[in-house]
């Protein structure tokens, strides 16, 4: 019953998380586009009001005319929309999903004894500390260097080093699948912290100053803009980390931390292309195509580097052939008994799945093949030590018709 309820919680939280993430990312991308596409106001009235940019757009059968006031508008409107619940709800639903999916069963999902033989409580504490420590260091980097000459370049380089170190540590201490997700969640936590500790408080100070008739300090807008820009570059790397959860060939690679760093770098480079593209169309920026090409080249290089290596040695080929030569159910049954029964047998049926009967094995043959051979997700963290030869045996048994008799 607990497993059933956790599955429902996982599904509903994932649904909520995706919905709110779409709202947050969508609004973020829109405002980056808007900020990069604004042109100086044409109408004298807008100039007198202090407008710094405007945009005419058509969408959904109507025409829109957004106007930007960089420091303050001539008067506050009665209804001012704030963009923050998209961010907060995305993080809260994401952390709840992380709790249900990983923290709740930390011994299974966060602990790989071949990497770190620690108790589940320690693994949970370290996982949460990743989110806190990353934010503290990232925030300190921004405070120390963002306002200096060439501050953006310095901050970018230091944050890249921070992300590399985070990915390396996560992949050394946690199973690859959890490590990728943890790195994504860590960066996403800093994105929400940017909203909660810098962007929204700065905007509140500006609004309070306007209401009190006091001069508005433009530094709040500048700092909020800096953190907002950082968030837009974090977006594609975080999305890759989350999606990679379903593709074991990424996080199961021996150098999985480097795979993650390369793909995150590619995502940031491609995002830079789209950010600069809006201004390039107006003649403000140089052609941003090289950024996109760099991102695509990194992805292509990673694909080539990670391609499966065939067993070329005669001894290795012969051993694999001998292991998979007799792919009868009786031999597959031996593998299942050694590697799978402890979680899917008479005593325990995780996911309501039993593999200790021929009928059940025949019924779930497709799932067994997908989980154990194609994606290699199971056994979880390879806790039971299944070998490549045993996976090959299951694969040949399935391809030969998956007979269970």
Examine the domain organization and report whether 107 and 35 are in the same domain.
yes
Mean pLDDT across 332-341: 81
Supply the pLDDT for residue 173.
96
Examine the domain organization and report whether 231 and 283 are in the same domain.
yes
Q: Is residue 318 very low, low, confident or very high in pLDDT (cuts 50, 70, 90)?
A: very low
Supply the pLDDT for residue 16.
94
- Report the distance separating Cα 148 and Cα 143, nearest Å: 10
Highest mean pLDDT among 65-74, 101-110, 287-296, 392-401 belongs to 287-296
Supply the pLDDT for residue 119.
93
Dihedral (CA of 14, 15, 18, 21) sign: negative
Q: Is residue 136 very low, low, confident or very high in pLDDT (cuts 50, 70, 90)?
A: very high
Name residue 64's beta-bridge partners.
Answer: 57
Domain range for residue 189?
A: 2-75+82-305
- Report the distance separating Cα 187 and Cα 265, nearest Å: 13
Supply the pLDDT for residue 159.
96
Please write down the long-range contacts of 276-285, taking CB distance under 8 Å and 24 or more positions apart. 276/36, 278/32, 278/33, 278/36, 278/37, 279/36, 279/37, 281/37, 282/37, 282/39, 284/36
Supply the pLDDT for residue 314.
44
pLDDT tens column, 236-259: 999 999 999 888 889 988 899 999
- Report the distance separating Cα 230 and Cα 232, nearest Å: 5
Q: Is residue 109 very low, low, confident or very high in pLDDT (cuts 50, 70, 90)?
A: confident
DSSP 198: I
Examine the domain organization and report whether 106 and 154 are in the same domain.
yes
In this structure, are residues 210 and 50 in contact, taking their beta carbons and an 8 Å threshold? no
User: Is a pLDDT exceeding 80 seen at residue 315?
Assistant: no
Backbone phi, then psi, for 63, in 5-degree steps?
-110, 140
Name residue 53's beta-bridge partners.
Answer: 68
Mean pLDDT across 250-269: 95
What is the biggest distance separating any 2 CA atoms in the chain, rounded to whole angstroms? 85
Supply the pLDDT for residue 351.
67
Examine the domain organization and report whether 285 and 322 are in the same domain.
no
Answer with the residue of higher pLDDT: 398 or 159.
Answer: 159
- Report the distance separating Cα 69 and Cα 35, nearest Å: 11
Examine the domain organization and report whether 249 and 354 are in the same domain.
no
Mean pLDDT across 221-248: 92
Mean pLDDT across 342-359: 75
- Out of 305, 330, 359, a domain closes at 305
Examine the domain organization and report whether 134 and 230 are in the same domain.
yes
pTM for the model stands at: 0.83
- Report the distance separating Cα 343 and Cα 19, nearest Å: 33
DSSP 62: E
Mean pLDDT across 127-141: 97
In this structure, are residues 324 and 344 in contact, taking their beta carbons and an 8 Å threshold? no
Examine the domain organization and report whether 57 and 35 are in the same domain.
yes
Number of domains in the chain: 2
In this structure, are residues 49 and 68 in contact, taking their beta carbons and an 8 Å threshold? no
- Is residue 94 assigned to a domain? yes
Mean pLDDT across 75-81: 88
Supply the pLDDT for residue 311.
45
Supply the pLDDT for residue 313.
45
pLDDT tens column, 16-63: 999 999 999 999 999 999 988 999 999 999 988 989 999 999 999 999
User: Is a pLDDT exceeding 60 seen at residue 358?
Assistant: yes
3-state secondary structure of 354: coil
Q: Say how many CA atoms lie within 13 Å of 404 toward its Cβ.
A: 17
Which residues, including other chains, have CB under 8 Å from residue 403's CB and lie 6 or more apart?
Answer: 328, 329, 362, 397
**Cis, peptide link before residue 71, omega less than 30° from 0:** no
Examine the domain organization and report whether 93 and 234 are in the same domain.
yes
Helix extents (H) in 99-218: 106-109, 120-145, 151-173, 176-194, 200-211
């Amino acid at each position: 019953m607990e497993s059933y309820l956790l599955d429902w919680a996982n599904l509903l939280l994932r649904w909520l998380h995706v919905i709110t993430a779409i709202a947050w990312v969508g609004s973020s991308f829109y405002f980056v586009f808007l900020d990069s596409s604004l042109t100086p106001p044409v109408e004298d009235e807008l100039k007198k009001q202090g407008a710094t940019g405007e945009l005419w757009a058509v969408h959904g059968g109507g025409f829109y005319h957004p106007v930007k006031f960089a420091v303050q508008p001539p008067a506050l409107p009665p209804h001012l929309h704030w963009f923050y619940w998209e961010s907060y709800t995305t993080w809260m639903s994401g952390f709840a999903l992380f709790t249900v999916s990983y923290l709740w069963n930390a011994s299974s999902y966060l602990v790989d004894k071949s990497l770190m033989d620690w108790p589940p409580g320690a693994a949970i504490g370290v996982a949460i500390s990743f989110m806190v420590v990353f934010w503290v260091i990232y925030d300190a980097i921004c405070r120390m260097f963002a306002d200096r000459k060439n501050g953006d370049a310095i901050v970018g380089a230091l944050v890249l080093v921070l992300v590399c170190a985070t990915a390396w540590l996560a992949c050394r201490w946690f199973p690859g699948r959890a490590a990728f997700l943890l790195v994504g969640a860590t960066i996403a936590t800093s994105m929400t912290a940017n909203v909660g500790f810098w962007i929204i408080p700065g905007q509140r100070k500006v609004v309070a100053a306007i209401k009190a008739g006091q001069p508005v300090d433009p530094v709040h807008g500048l700092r909020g803009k800096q953190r907002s820009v950082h968030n837009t570059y974090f977006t594609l790397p975080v999305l890759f980390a989350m999606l990679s959860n379903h593709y074991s060939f990424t996080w199961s690679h021996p150098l999985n931390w480097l795979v993650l760093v390369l793909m995150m770098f590619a995502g940031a480079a491609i995002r830079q292309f789209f950010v600069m593209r809006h201004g390039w169309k107006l003649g403000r920026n140089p052609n941003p195509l090289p950024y996109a090409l760099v991102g695509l080249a990194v992805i292509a290089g990673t694909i080539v580097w990670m391609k499966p290596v065939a067993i070329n040695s005669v001894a290795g080929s012969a051993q694999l052939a001998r292991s998979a030569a007799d792919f009868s159910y009786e031999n597959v049954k031996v593998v299942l008994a050694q590697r799978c029964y402890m979680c899917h047998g008479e005593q325990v049926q995780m996911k309501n799945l039993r593999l200790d009967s021929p009928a059940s094995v025949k019924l779930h043959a497709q799932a067994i093949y997908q989980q154990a051979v194609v994606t290699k997700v199971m056994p979880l963290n390879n806790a039971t030590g299944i070998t490549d030869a045993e996976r090959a045996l299951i694969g040949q048994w399935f391809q030969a018709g998956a007979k269970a008799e």
